[in-house]
Amino acid sequence: MARRRKGLDVHGWIVLDKPLDMTSTQAVSAVRRIFNAKKAGHAGTLDPLASGLLPIALGEATKTVPFAVEGEKIYRFTVKWGERTDTLDAEGEIVATSDVRPDRAAIEAALAGFIGDIEQVPPVYSAIKVDGERAYDLARDGETVELEARRVHVFDLRLMDCPSPDMAVLEMRCGKGVYVRSLARDLAFALDTEGHVAALRRIRVGRFDEAESTRLDVLEEMAHKGAASEALLPVQTALDDIPALAVTEEEAFQLKQGRSIVLLPRQALELKTQRRPLSIAGRDCSFSALAVCKDQAVAIGDARAGKFQPWRVFNLTP
């Protein structure tokens, strides 16, 4: 017999304000321990030297992680001019230096070249796999790692402050796959200097923002008082990008059995008017919607030809 996973059936999202010097995996383990949850995962890795939003999914919410990962992200970061490190952040060894210190006008003029679709070579010290091995493992072993450029999208990039000639604080709103460390490196090159990320904080992931985040120590204190569940957001929180479909209890039962339901003409029309191009983890979700019964997520499915066919079902108890 298969071994049953230990823990409780806890479902929902915790928007953790991850502290410095903690890996994303450690953060997930800590939250999972606090809730004694059977299952947990996160929506987008944050390096140990980065702080800020790390949405953590518990239980059935893990089925919605791809939607959160695909969401827009906002980072606020500080670039230190004049030094490039092997890791492109403050943790690495200095590998190149420059006496050039760009002024505010030069920085602002260069930012336009990094907005929109751009080609970006990921950092050598990254989790990207090369011939089955993580790039950072190969780099730490002293091997030469060459990564191909990737096309990513930056919606906005602006200079927030220049606290000193050596430092610039920027804020970036971007899509999936953008490396802040690579952007800092390339921006420095564009300004004829060197640079690395001295500080990094993520302040938004998809529909999750700082206002609803919780620090780990606060969450632990809430758990001691038996109130940790107050920090949980509903399973469907990450699904704002797809329309909602209200269903009856009988329809919810059918959907949970994997069976399709017939849409009323009014429902079909409403879903059609809300349709927009959407790709999640390589799947076309342009026709997708979330079936909800009494404010509880039932299933994600596709609305086509007057029917709603589920392709992801949530096992939640009312």
241 within 8 A of 204, measured Cβ to Cβ: no
103 is catalytic: no
Catalytic one among 9, 17, 21, 47? 47
Element housing 314 (H / E): none
Instruction: Give the gyration radius of the chain's Cα atoms.
Output: 22
Q: Which two tokens stand for residue 258?
A: 């994997």
With CA atoms as reference, report the closest residue to 44 among 65, 69, 20: 69
Using CA atoms in the order 275, 280, 283, 286, what is the torsion angle rounded to 10 degrees? 0
Residue 119: how many other CB atoms lie within 10 Å = 10
Distance CA 74, CA 228 (A): 27
State the Cα–Cα distance between residues 274 and 285, nearest whole angstrom: 12
Buried b (16+ CB within 10 A) or exposed e, 70-81: bbebbbbbbbbb
Q: What amino acid positions are annotated as catalytic residues?
A: 47
